Structure 1
Amino acid sequence: MTLDIMMPFWGRPDHLREAVQSVLAQSDPDWRLVVVDDVYPDTEPGRWVQSLGDPRIRYLRNAENLGVGGNFRECVRLAEHERVVLMGCDDRMLPGFVGRVRSLVDAHPGAAIVQPGVEVIDAAGAVHRPLADRVKGMVRFGGSGAREFSGERLLTSLLHGNWAYFPSLVWRRDDLVRFGFRPGFEVVQDLALIVDVVLAGGSLLLDDETVFQYRRHAGSVSALTGPDATKFGEESALFAEVTARTAAAGWGRASRAARLHLTSRLNALTELPAALRAGDPVARRALLRHALG
């Protein structure tokens, strides 16, 4: 199993170097890395990737800026192998990531999505556990080792609080092509895609062995779109859609979880102080509307 590692790039060059170097450090060498540059203003990061001279690494620069969702769709178009990870250009793989994923897929070939073990790092690369990740730990499934979930139970849990770490997820290429990243969901595209896969009968394999470092920092898309309420507008639209789709499927618990989306509402409240400090009345009203339903 050659693992396709697709890396959309727009961000800090030093983080990109760390991300690429973490792929190069994999103990299992059977991987392919494609860095897709979304016309980042500085061309030096691209020249650095090209200078590595590793035949497993490919660098491409888009002809025009496609935006977050557009660049993810381009990554899906360029994927070639059966299993694909859409890695953040600011995240890091630990050396055992590819090997662990291989063993998980070999043991559970029917799993549509694989969630390896993840720890969170800050902008400087230090391990930490902010509030959002403590909440994720509270709502995710318990247990230990590799365990597979599907159907209404899985979707209800994720709708109560999305505990998946998108840049670490390993997908089937066929599912990425079939469902894709829909325009209109730039920030919550991960949950939208998971919903599509699970409603179509796909399962998720959850593992606890830490092999990936997810970087949570102030410059991330999610962090930047929180105080101005952009991501919560997307979440409201997605939860309304999922409420209807799960009700139609007869998944009452999942439908209620989507309608209530409690952790999303609480998250909006945590962003309210930043909107107040920014003096943005539109964002303030949007955050309150989302939080109070």
Structure 2
Amino acid sequence: MATFDIMMPYYGDVGLMQDAVRSVLAQTDPDWRLTVVDDGREPGVPEWFAQLGDERVRYLRNPQNLGITRNFQKCVELLELERAVIMGCDDLLMPGYLATIRRVLKEHPGVGMVQPGVEVIDSQGAPVGGLVDGVKNRLYAPGVKGSRRMGGEALAASLLRGNWLYFPSICWDSAAVKAVNFRDGLSVIQDLALVIDLLQRGQEMVVDTEPAFRYRRHAVSESSLQAFSGTRFTEAERYFAQVADRMDAQGWPRAARAARVHSASRLHALTMLPGAVKRAQWDGVRTLTGHVLRPTGASGANSAAADGS
């Protein structure tokens, strides 16, 4: 039986999805099974999978559209093998991805999550380094040479200050993820929420620097009204308030302070403000401004300095 369940919740561009599937087929380690859960209705897709002729590939089309969160939850429910990858349908595994993960798991037995090295690419597949990834790497991601095992309050506080993970690249312990699954009611910040839930249950993560995954970052369209509406930050604000209370109850005060300050999320909102103003998205301007300037209280202000946020 295979070791790795590679799950691909799919909706959107057919060509990018096909490239993602091909990157799985190209793995040097053949010990995998791919399951694509199609939440759309693009023509020709079932036929394309039928002609692949690889018994390791399963294709499922939902009878009706489930939406992002429910489709991700379904992928978790379908997990059967020891380890899981929930990759984006427009991302790419490097040929040695599974070999890298297997090496890390051998070096760190029992670890619940593995974050390998990631190369960021644009919509055309070319390497790119933008503001978001620069901030992630320089301000929030821990300095790692080789591999580093992390967990507990230290990792929770680091991620709540600024989520520097590339979620689709992570390899998970399947049983741990199935025990938690993605939270209902979250559509943007559900990846961070899942990691924090696992950390609270005692799971640990290994961060490894060997490049193994290509994460596709699409440019935000200036013509998109939704992009600057600020609704994603309303969800984020609600989550940070709730998780801060949970961190206090867990006895993790540094993580609670980091959640209340959520400096990276506020910085992100600040970068979106000019676009909202340009598009006359005045409701979005108000939402974004509120997220940037929301008072955190005396304890929150002090924690920003204490935590280096």
The two structures share one fold, judged by TM-score above 0.5: yes
Amino acid at match of 1:124: Q
Q: Which deviates the most, 114-123 or 266-275?
A: 266-275
Q: Which residue of 1 aligns with 2:282?
A: 281
C-alpha distance 18-224 of structure 1, shift in aligned 2 (>3 A): farther
Contact 1:151 1:198 in 2 (8 A): yes
Give the SS at the match of 2:124. Answer: coil
TM-score by length of 1: 0.95
1:127 partner SS? coil
- 1:83 paired residue number: 83
Rounded to whole Å, the distance in 1 between the matches of 2:249 and 2:199 is 14
After superposition, the Cα gap between the structure-2 partners of 1:243 and 1:224, relative to the gap in structure 1 and judged at 3 Å, is farther
Deviation at residue 51 of structure 1 after TM alignment: 1.4
Residue in 2 that maps onto 1:6? 7
What's the counterpart of residue 172 of structure 2?
Answer: 171
- Provide the C-alpha distance between the structure 1 equivalents of 2:219 and 2:174, rounded to a whole number of angstroms: 31
**How far is 1:103 from its partner?**
1.4
Give the letter for the 1:251 counterpart. Answer: W
Residue aligning to 1:124: 124
Indicate if the aligned counterparts of 1:226 and 1:232 stay in contact, CA closer than 8 A: no
**How far is the alpha carbon of 1:218 from its aligned partner?**
3.4
- Give the secondary structure class of the aligned counterpart of 2:228: coil
Q: Distance in 2 between matches of 1:219 and 1:22?
A: 25
The number of equivalent residue pairs is 290
Tell me how far apart the structure 1 counterparts of residues 41 and 277 of structure 2 sit (CA, whole Å): 32
Instruction: Quote how far apart the aligned CAs of 1:125 are.
Output: 0.2
Q: Which residue of 2 aligns with 1:187?
A: 188
> What is the match of residue 48 of structure 1?
48
Query: Partner residue of 2:163?
Result: 162
Asked if the contact 2:144/2:208 (under 8 Å) is kept, the reply is no
Consecutive aligned runs of 4 or more in structure 1 exceeding 3 Å deviation? 223-226
Structure 1, residues 111-140: CA drift from partner, whole Å, max 9, x if none? 111101101000000001111111111211
Give the root-mean-square deviation of aligned CA atoms: 1.6
Question: What residue ranges of structure 1 are gaps of 5+ in the alignment?
Answer: none
- 1:225 CA drift (Å): 6.0
Q: Secondary structure at the match of 1:238?
A: helix
Q: Which residue of 1 aligns with 2:300?
A: none
* Structure with bigger gyration radius: 2
Percent of aligned positions that are identical: 48
SS in structure 2 of the partner of residue 187 of structure 1: coil
Output the amino acid matched with 2:137. Answer: G
Report 1:258-273 matches (<5 A). 258-273=259-274
Give me the TM-score of the superposition, normalised by structure 2: 0.90
Deviation digits for residues 201-259 of structure 1 (CA, Å, limit 9, x no counterpart)? 11111000000000000379xx9964221221111111111111111222111111110
Counterpart residue identity of residue 166, structure 1: F
- In the TM superposition, what whole-angstrom CA distance separates every residue of 1:152-209 from its partner, at most 9, and x where no partner exists? 1111111111011010111111122111111111111000001101111111110000
Over 3 Å counting, the alpha-carbon distance change for 1:170 and 1:2 in structure 2 is same
Distance 1:76 1:187 in 2: 17
Any stretches of 5+ residues in structure 2 without a counterpart? 295-309
Tell me the residue number matched to 1:29.
30
